[in-house]
Amino acid sequence: MGHESVAAATARRLVSDGRGILAADESSPTIKKRFDSISVESTEENRRDYRQLLFTAGGVEEFISGVILFDETIRQKTEDGVPLPELLDRRGIVPGIKVDRGTGALAFFPSEKVTEGLDGLRARLEEYRNLGARFTKWRAVITILGDAIPSRFCIEANAQALARFAALSQEAGLTPIVEPEVLMDGDHTIDRCEEVTLASLSAVFARLRDHRVALEGILLKPNMVLSGKECPRQAGPAEVAEYTIRTFLRVVPAAVPGIVFLSGGQSPEEATRNLNALNQCGRRPWELSFSFGRALQQPVLAAWRGKAENAAAAQKAFHQRARLNSLARHGKYSPDMETGS
Ligand code: 13P
């Protein structure tokens, strides 16, 4: 198979059979924040133990198709010396890797960010491929602040970087997960989120075309179209689904095999409920799946609290969240399933 078709086969596999992706690629500062919330020290060993707990949870391969790893994690091994990506691969779960290097301030555009990490990326991709990665992720962050932010320029700068990342990934035979995240922080309305999401996705797909990226061999990881977190009027699941599908139909080509949503600060229940509503909306050309970080891991961290004796309960919590999100992929989730865990 040529590189393009390898990327397309991986993309299809990642959204197959009602399964979705676990984003476990928190950078060292971010995982420290998560561990602080449960009073666990962020040491390399604790991070390994926690990730290993997630990756060995019994039965989750039925619901989880892939895991996004962080640079440290892809190099770690179990106590018995099995590299973590190999552990996943043996279970039929595809290992992936976050390859961006986080965001920096966009010079001369106050409050706006641009994602870094293109320098030397070709060599890093080669290395990650040898370590077992089969897909990659790059996250761009778009902030909504009043009428002037995001600027046109910020949207463009981030779309350019996403497209270069995607092209380099496909060149290396890796499937890029293209993540332009419009943040839910702020008091903006759902209409404003729709407007910004549409502008951002339009720029991303224009640049992907310029860079000759094969759309069959990518996955899109966007925000859902939501009311800002502080907006007095919060849209419910049916409205979120209507806005989100309408926006995506306008701008995401049908050649893209799947849309794998980020959770972005929604509670686990909210994220699942919205994903379910999205999958209850009639005809659309792409698989609608998940690539959740917080919405899959919050209950796991709460059950674990850094104690080996809680590992089984934590794995059970992960299995439950993964199962409910998989049901949501079929539009068969209902909130009363939350109690039966
Ligand atoms: P959240 O689901 O917690 O937003 O994380 C997904 C992710 O990978 C962000 O880059």
- Cβ distance 259 to 287 under 8 Å? yes
Q: What is the DSSP letter of 303?
A: H
CATH number at residue 36: 3.20.20.70
Domain count across the chain: 1
Residue 10, SS3 per DSSP: helix
Q: Which residue carries 């794995």 as its tokens?
A: 315
Per-residue pLDDT of the chain (341 residues; tens, 9 = 90+): 677 799 999 999 999 999 999 999 999 999 999 999 999 999 999 999 999 999 999 999 999 999 999 999 999 999 999 999 999 999 999 999 999 999 999 999 999 999 999 999 999 999 999 999 999 999 999 999 999 999 999 999 999 999 999 999 999 999 999 999 999 999 999 999 999 999 999 999 999 999 999 999 999 999 999 999 999 999 999 999 999 999 999 999 999 999 999 999 999 999 999 999 999 998 899 999 999 999 999 999 999 999 999 999 999 999 999 999 999 999 999 999 997 54
Residue 289's DSSP bridge partners are 260
Is 213's C-beta closer than 6 angstroms to any atom of ligand 1?
no
Is 293's C-beta closer than 6 angstroms to any atom of ligand 1?
yes
Please report the pLDDT score of residue 171 as a whole number: 98
Structure tokens at 305: 């609290």
Please report the pLDDT score of residue 186 as a whole number: 98
* Helix ranges (DSSP H) in 37-189: 44-55, 71-74, 84-90, 121-130, 152-171
Please report the pLDDT score of residue 282 as a whole number: 82
In terms of C-beta density within 10 A (0-12 exposed, 13-18 middle, 19 or more buried), how is residue 211 classed?
Answer: middle
Phi, psi of 252 (to 5 degrees): -95, 115
Please report the pLDDT score of residue 1 as a whole number: 66
Q: What region, left, alpha or beta, does residue 120 occupy, with left being phi > 0 and alpha being psi -120 to 50 degrees?
A: left
Rounded to whole angstroms, the Cα distance separating 146 from 140 reads: 19
Q: What is the DSSP letter of 290?
A: E
Pocket test for ligand 1, best of 33, 99, 113, 292 (most atoms within 8 A of CB): 292
- Cβ distance 200 to 248 under 8 Å? no
Structure tokens at 69: 């790893």
Expressed as residue numbers, the domain containing 97 is 3-339
Is 139's C-beta closer than 6 angstroms to any atom of ligand 1?
yes
- Ligand 1 geometric centre to CA of 157 (Å): 21
Structure tokens at 81: 């010396």
